Structures are given as C-alpha cells and as structure tokens.
Amino acid sequence: MTFNFNMQAGKRRAKTTTMAEGEELIELRFRIYDGIDIAHGTYEASMTVSTLKQRIIAEWPQGKTVTPKSIHDLKLIHAGKVLENNKTLADSRITVGDL
C-alpha cells in the first residue's frame, strides 16, 4: 500500500531561515489521504527524503485505520514530482513559495 502526500512550502507562513552554521531550513506541511495535516514543521534542506519519511511515520496520527509501516509505503509528491528517497530536500528543489 502506498500513501501519496502533497508537500507544500507555503507562501504566506513558510519561511526559509539560516542556522548559525549556514544550514538552510524549510518549513513544510503534509496532508494525508483523509485531508488531515501532519508533521508541520521546519526541516533542514540537507535532510534526505527517506529521513523525512521516517519522521512522518513517527508523527502519524494514532487511531487511523491505514498506517504506513515503512518509508516504502509513502510517496512524497511536490510540484507534481515523486521525490526520490536518496535525495535531499535541496536536491529536490523544494523552496519557499512553491505550491
């Protein structure tokens, strides 16, 4: 079973910030199959898609009838593209203002 997520880097409330060491942060939100938003937060641009999927699974709402068991059960889709597990958010060209 595969779950499709639409990722959004929102224009109004999303921000990119820079940490002291120069690491760029991207604010993202995720909408699951039933319209519920989960895992809204700020993520490092250097984070891989597979690591992000692990965090989403960890924050998956309790009590859902359908729950992903591994990163292979999830597909993250941004701007019509399925993101590859081995790429970073920066490699995937996720930037603020993309919808």
Give the pLDDT confidence of 33-55 residue by residue, as tens digits: 888 888 889 999 999 999 999 99
Asked, for residue 90, whether it belongs to a domain, the answer is no
Q: Looking at residue 44, which CATH number applies to its domain?
A: 3.10.20.90
Q: How confident is the model at residue 23 (pLDDT cuts 50, 70, 90)?
A: confident
Place of tokens 């203002």: 97
Domain that holds residue 70: 3-82
Asked, for residue 93, whether it belongs to a domain, the answer is no
- Identify whether the C-beta of residue 58 lies closer than 8 Å to the C-beta of residue 38: no
The whole-number pLDDT of residue 78 equals 86
Closest by CA to 49, choosing from 90, 14, 20, is 90
Asked, for residue 91, whether it belongs to a domain, the answer is no
Asked, for residue 21, whether it belongs to a domain, the answer is yes
The whole-number pLDDT of residue 1 equals 40
Task: Give buried/exposed letters for 24-61 (b at 16+ CB in 10 A, else e).
Answer: bbbbbbbebeeeeeebeeebbbebbbbbbbeebbeebe
> Looking at residues 54-81, what average pLDDT do you find?
91
The whole-number pLDDT of residue 21 equals 60
Asked, for residue 96, whether it belongs to a domain, the answer is no
Asked, for residue 48, whether it belongs to a domain, the answer is yes
Asked, for residue 89, whether it belongs to a domain, the answer is no
Question: Over 70: is that where the pLDDT of 97 sits?
Answer: no
Distance of CA 28 to the CA centre of its chain: 6
What total number of domains does the chain contain?
A: 1
Q: Is 92 exposed, middle or buried (0-12, 13-18, 19+ CB in 10 A)?
A: buried
